[in-house]
Amino acid sequence: MEHIICIAGDLGASGGKMAKGAFDGNKLKITDFIDFDNKLIETPNALYWNVFGLYNSILDGITQYADHGSVDSIAIDTWGANYGLLDKRNRLLEPVYHYRDKRTLHTVENIHKVVSGKSLFEMTGCQCNRTYTLPQLYSYIEQGTNVLTEADKMLFLPDLLSYFLSGEISTEMTIAGTSALMNTSQEDWCFDLFERLNIPSHFLTDIVEAGTVKGTLLKTVGEKTRAGGAKVIAAVGHDTAAAVAAIPGFGANKLYISIGTNISMGAMVPESVVSEEAFYCGFKNTGGIGRSKIVYRDFSAFWLMNELQSVWLNEGKKYSYMDLISLAEHTKSKQVHFDLEEPEFNNVDGDIRIKINNYLKKTGQSVIEEDGEFVLCILESISIKVKYYAHLLKDKLNIPYTEIYVVNGGSRNYLLMQMISNALEAEVKAGMPYATLTGNVLTQLYARGYVKTVDEMRELSKQSFRMKIYEPKN
């Protein structure tokens, strides 16, 4: 069998990555990585994503791969919740807003005046914060603008970029699950919610499953990239769900922890969990590959490291991620921590060090000063939060797990992996730093029939990749 070449684009909140997947019928190799920036656009009164810059980076990547051989298919996955609104001629009505744009600062509270948080959870399976699509759409209602009335279609970011590539319009199921606009099945829109909040729904598009062939590269795109004829696939559009799709042997009674800019951690379940315990513990539901369901929690992780690096860079100190690990390793812990989910740690503005110390003072803990102390404090806070939600999943939601997998970029942070193993007092399998890209490629192979089932996808992953084992230590 000749190698099947699949190109995966994975866009995260702080940067994008592309890779080539080569399948020979027995094993999959992920190689030829391309990195590019995802720089937000900050104007005096708004925060946007540079979606056109991302699209051009994707085109450049496809061209680079096509220059070294044929390309069979292409798929894009991204972080969740962001969207583009198109008019009747399929042109963007406005720039793509950043999910931390301040127009939604108080929107969730206003939504809850109409639909309580518990009712919203029972209707959608989601616990909505301001980064979700729902409050972004409701902000137009609050402002009294007519943008939603003028919109003819809404496409989430993977579907928007796929439209630019193929001209085909549809909504992939797993990325829609990050919106708080789906019903608890995570397979269709929650039209009752649109009606109760007076949000128009005419711009919603047909939902397709992950692993659907959307179309073929537009002729103009094919000529520009020299990849004409390549299929455009609806991958598992939500980056976390794509990573879960790639975990070797993953299934029921297993815990995943995907670590990148944010952490998503949870378990695969037969149907969405909308119990009172799940609501009060803050869990959410979304869709996965093969119409599976995932119950999970998500919270900030290396976003906080990025904020530290930005502050230090302004002071003339440039630390790599390996430098940060080294700083933490050579620092004595002050046994202090902060709550990663506090709102002040999830806004763009301000010095993260000041925010951390303000929290430590407020909670009666010792303040910290050294660079390594800030890094170590973040890592310890992450491991504490992971332990907290892992225990809630098992003890309150009665979802046991016998194996723990940590994937994506954070799995390379061996210090954090050991901390998590210690905190959970359990063996941790860590690896697949490019799990999201791998899940993207595996879904392309699934869409084209080279693997027939989700179980075959994960078996191929098991044959192709290895995980590192961490045992708990004192």
Q: What local confidence, expressed as pLDDT, does residue 1 receive?
A: 63
**Residue indicated by tokens 């315990």:** 277
CATH of span 249-431: 3.30.420.40
What is the per-residue pLDDT for 349? 79
pLDDT attached to residue 400:
93
pLDDT in tens, 340-385: 999 888 777 789 999 999 999 999 999 999 999 999 999 999 999 9
Query: Which parts of the chain sit beneath pLDDT 50?
Result: none
Instruction: Assign domain 4-234 one CATH number from 3.40.80.10, 3.40.50.2300, 3.30.420.40, 3.40.50.1820.
Output: 3.30.420.40
Residue 47, classified by CB atoms within 10 Å of its CB into exposed (0-12), middle (13-18) or buried (19+), is: middle
- pLDDT attached to residue 401: 95
pTM assigned to the model: 0.91
Q: How far apart are CA 411 and CA 414, in angstroms?
A: 7
- Listed in order, the ranges of the chain carrying CATH 3.30.420.40 are 4-234, 249-431
